[in-house]
A and B are shown apart, each in its own frame.
Chain A
Amino acid sequence: MNHLVLEGVNQTAEARTAIERVFRAEYGRVIASLIGSLGDFELAEEAIQDAFTVALERWAGDGVPPNPAAWIATTAKRRAIDIWRRERRRLEKYAALDEPAAIAEDHVAIYGDDHETLTDDRLRLIFTCCHPALALEAQVALTLRTLGGLSTAEIARALLVPEPTLGQRLSRAKRKIREAGIPYQVPADHVLPERLDAVLAVVYLIFNEGYSASGGELLTRGELCTEAIRLGRALLAIMPDEPEVSGLLGLMLLHDSRRAARLSAANDGPLTLEEQDRSVWDQAEIAEGRTLVEHALRRGRPRPYQLQAAIAAIHADAQTSADTDWRQIRALYELLGEVSPSPIVELNRAVAVAMAEGLDRGLALMDRPEVAGPLDGYRWLHAARADLLRRLDRSTEAAVAYTRALELAENAAERVYLERRLAEVKARLRA
């Protein structure tokens, strides 16, 4: 909720609640349609901010209107026209510009029941927010701000950056959009696949920022996971025919289903799949995620998110850790390695081979120079090696690998987990 708007205004609880609900649910849609017709990010934001301020006063007196979102959109559009005309008088540079189409055509309804226009507006907006000409961190912040409707304070808290820093990041990005002419349009067909990948990467980054919390002391910053899933649903609504969109949403849901189970009661680090209490897994999320993956894969265009989601679904299918179908997981990692080869995929394939065919074979795959070389600074390589060595009862080597992983650990929760394992193998060495 945007606290700037709410502070210091006298309003009834009903109006306040209605505004909070509308703000959260409709901000993304309203801002998308405003930017769509105004062609100006900052103008749209200022206008919508003003509209919510007006709503606070008006709704407290007159009651909440029947269609609050439409009310906000119409008011914001009128405010935008006022602001634009005021700016034009104040600033010479605006005098030479034509009025945005929406302002010239006062009769055009900005927010109606036209689902198609709305979908198009949101689609254009996400491609603008995730334009590769913007820094990745700016893409993340803009996406959370405009499509997610999160306040600057909320985003700053979730991303662990000071609020002024985040504010600067956002205003720099918006200035670049305007001054460099980053368009508000769906990319041309021949660049669409790479631009869609960029959009999906931003959403997945938001999810992972919440899921693994690379900085800070918290194991999960759950609100980011929830937000990323919400964005994933919005993407699927506007691009229902893109299997990778289904794949990403499925993947996030399947991971998210285990969010609660990853937290240990003793608060000593994330629990591995093997250690988790599977009865805590969210079965509704698993079912939805599985359905999404199945539908996506049926289209016959397997790409990385679909394949990762399929792997997550197989883990979800296993009643116990021992029931895991590692052969199928190994096969999926092989396919993933073909579609999008990387040392990290190879590392995961090595783990699957270890579980399906034998620990030694997996360890040998991990120790190949094309895996161990580029991943030497990657904590999970050392953690995975340590794990196999521990299972093989090679405790001395396992201790060395856990120690190396510990040196590279990025948050307290990971450190706690690795220390627990290190203590286990050290105890075995003493025994």
Chain B
Amino acid sequence: MKYLLLICGDESRLNNGARTEAWAAYTNDLVASNKILGGERLRPTATATTLRVNGGNRLLSDGPFAETKEQLGGFYMVEAANLDEAVELASKMPHLTDGGAVEIRPIWPMG
């Protein structure tokens, strides 16, 4: 199964440079174990733009679609046999030692 691992947490801490090496090592491990299908780090929510359409008009607003205490900082897509394996892969993310969270979402298989 494919899972999206959403990296969640206080972005002021998610994005600090001190953990860059830990994230690189984490990514390398995923690559080495052949579990990774993709993944990206996102720029902070300060750069986000949200689009809605109301009566045919585009409404753009500054910021993420929902203001939350924790933000989405990036994601990985992984291949795992089941939820337990996805949890196992997610549990090694470096931001978890600092109050962060991972939302694990199964990907809807297409056609």
Contact = CB atoms under 8 A, between A and B. Distances in A.
Interface of A: 92-93, 131, 133, 179-183, 185, 187-188, 191
B interface, by DSSP: helix, strand, loop or mixed?
Answer: mixed
A191 B88 CA distance: 10
Chain B, interface residues (CB within 8 Å), range: 10 to 19
Interface string B58-99: 000000000000000000000011111111100000000000
Contacts of A183: 81-85
The 3 A-B residue pairs with the shortest CB-CB distance in the complex, in nearest-first order: A183-B82, A181-B82, A181-B1
Contacts of A181: 1, 3, 80-83, 86, 106
A265 to B, nearest CB: 52
Nearest to A133: B83
Contact of B84 (A92, A93, A188): A188
A66 to B, nearest CB: 39
A191 B109 CA distance: 29
Contacts of B109: 93
A183 B3 CA distance: 14
Interface centre among B82, B104, B111 (most CB of A within 10 A): B82
Contacts of A191: 84
Interface of B: 1, 3, 80-88, 104, 106, 109, 111
Contacts of B86: 181
A180 B81 contact: no
A180 B106 contact: yes
A257 to B, nearest CB: 38
Contacts of B1: 181
Contact of A185 (B84, B87, B104, B111): B84
Given A133-B87, A181-B86, 16 more contacts: A93-B109, A131-B83, A133-B83, A179-B106, A180-B106, A181-B1, A181-B81, A181-B83, A182-B82, A183-B81, A183-B83, A185-B82, A185-B84, A187-B84, A188-B84, A188-B88
Contacts of B82: 181-183, 185
Contacts of A180: 83, 104, 106
Nearest to A195: B84
Contacts of A187: 84
B96 to A, nearest CB: 15
B14 to A, nearest CB: 23
Contacts of B3: 181
22 contacts: A92-B111, A93-B109, A131-B83, A133-B83, A179-B106, A180-B83, A180-B104, A180-B106, A181-B3, A181-B80, A181-B81, A181-B82, A181-B83, A181-B86, A181-B106, A182-B82, A182-B83, A183-B84, A183-B85, A185-B84, A188-B84, A188-B88
Contacts of A182: 82-84
Contacts of A92: 111
A180 B104 CA distance: 9
Contacts of A179: 106
